[in-house]
Structure 1
Amino acid sequence: MAPAGQKKGVLERLEAGEVVIGDGGFVFALEKRGYVKAGPWTPEAAAEHPEAVRQLHREFLRAGSNVMQTFTFYASDDKLVNRGHAQRFTGQQINEAACDLAREVANEGDALVAGGVSQTPSYLSCKSENDVKAIFKKQMDVFVSKKVDFLIAEYFEHVEEAEWAVQVLKTSGLPVAASLCIGPDGDLNKVSPGDCAVKLIKAGADIVGINCHFDPETCVKTVKMMKEGVEKAGLKAHYMCQPLAFHTPDCNCQGFIDLPEFPFCLEPRILTRWDMQKYARDAYNVGIRFIGGCCGFEPYHIRALAEELAKERGCLPAGSEKHGSWGSGLDMHTKPWVRARARRDYWENLKPASGRPFCPSLSKPDAWGITKGHADLMQQEEATSHEQLKVLFDKAKSK
Structure 2
Amino acid sequence: MAPATKKGVLERLNAGEVVIGDGGFVFALEKRGYVKAGPWTPEAAAEHPEAVRQLHREFLRAGANVMQTFTFYASDDKLENRGNKLSFTGQQINEAACDLAREVANEGDALVAGGVSQTPSYLSCRSEDEVKAIFKKQLDVFVKKDVDFLIAEYFEHVEEAVWAVEVLKATGKPVAANLCIGPEGDMHGLSPGECAVRLVKAGADIVGVNCHFDPLTCVEAVRLMKEGVEKAGLKAHYMCQPLAYHTPDCNKQGFIDLPEFPFALEPRILSRWDMQQYAREAYKVGIRYIGGCCGFEPYHVRALCEELSPEIGHLPAGSEKHGMWASGLEMHTKPWVRARARRDYWENLKPASGRPKCPSLATPDGWGVTQGDADLVQQKEATTKDQLLPLFEKAKH
Shorter chain as normaliser: what TM range? over 0.9
Matched with 2:347 is: 348
Alignment of 1:293-312 (within 5 A): 293-312=292-311
Q: Find the aligned partners of 2:127 and 2:293 in 1 and give their Cα distance.
A: 29
Q: Find the aligned partners of 1:393 and 1:106 in 2 and give their Cα distance.
A: 47
| Letter in structure 2 aligned against 1:271 | L
Q: Find the aligned partners of 2:374 and 2:324 in 1 and give their Cα distance.
A: 47
Q: Find the aligned partners of 2:302 and 2:276 in 1 and give their Cα distance.
A: 9
What does the per-residue CA deviation read over 1:100-145, in whole Å, with 9 as the maximum and x for residues that have no partner? 0000000000000000000000000011100000000011110010
Q: Find the aligned partners of 1:136 and 1:55 in 2 and give their Cα distance.
A: 28
Q: Find the aligned partners of 2:360 and 2:283 in 1 and give their Cα distance.
A: 29
Tell me how large the CA RMSD over aligned residues is.
1.5
1:389 partner SS: coil
Q: Does 1:209 align with 2:204?
A: no
Matched with 1:229 is: 228
Alignment of 1:151-170 (within 5 A): 151-170=150-169
* Inter-CA distance 337–87: structure 2 relative to 1 (3 Å threshold): closer
For the 8 Å contact 2:209–2:240, the answer to whether it is kept is yes
Please give the TM-score of this superposition, normalised by the length of structure 2.
Answer: 0.96
Q: Does 1:332 align with 2:327?
A: no
Q: Find the aligned partners of 1:229 and 1:292 in 2 and give their Cα distance.
A: 22
Alignment of 1:1-399 (within 5 A): 1-2=1-2, 6-84=5-83, 87-373=86-372, 376-378=373-375, 380=377, 384-386=379-381, 388-389=382-383, 393=387, 395=389
For the 8 Å contact 2:162–2:199, the answer to whether it is kept is yes
What does the per-residue CA deviation read over 1:373-398, in whole Å, with 9 as the maximum and x for residues that have no partner? 3xx35575x7x521x335754649xx
Please give the TM-score of this superposition, normalised by the length of structure 1.
Answer: 0.96
| Letter in structure 1 aligned against 2:383 | L
Shift of 1:88: 1.4
Number of aligned residue pairs: 391
Q: Find the aligned partners of 1:207 and 1:335 in 2 and give their Cα distance.
A: 48
- What are structure 1's unaligned runs of at least 5 residues? none
Q: Find the aligned partners of 2:198 and 2:386 in 1 and give their Cα distance.
A: 35
| Letter in structure 2 aligned against 1:51 | E
Q: Give percent identity, aligned residues only.
A: 81
Shift of 1:361: 0.6
For the 8 Å contact 1:76–1:120, the answer to whether it is kept is yes
Shift of 1:85: 5.2
For the 8 Å contact 1:371–1:377, the answer to whether it is kept is no
What does the per-residue CA deviation read over 1:39-78, in whole Å, with 9 as the maximum and x for residues that have no partner? 0000000000000000000000000000000000000000
For the 8 Å contact 2:119–2:131, the answer to whether it is kept is yes
For the 8 Å contact 2:3–2:109, the answer to whether it is kept is no
| Letter in structure 2 aligned against 1:77 | D
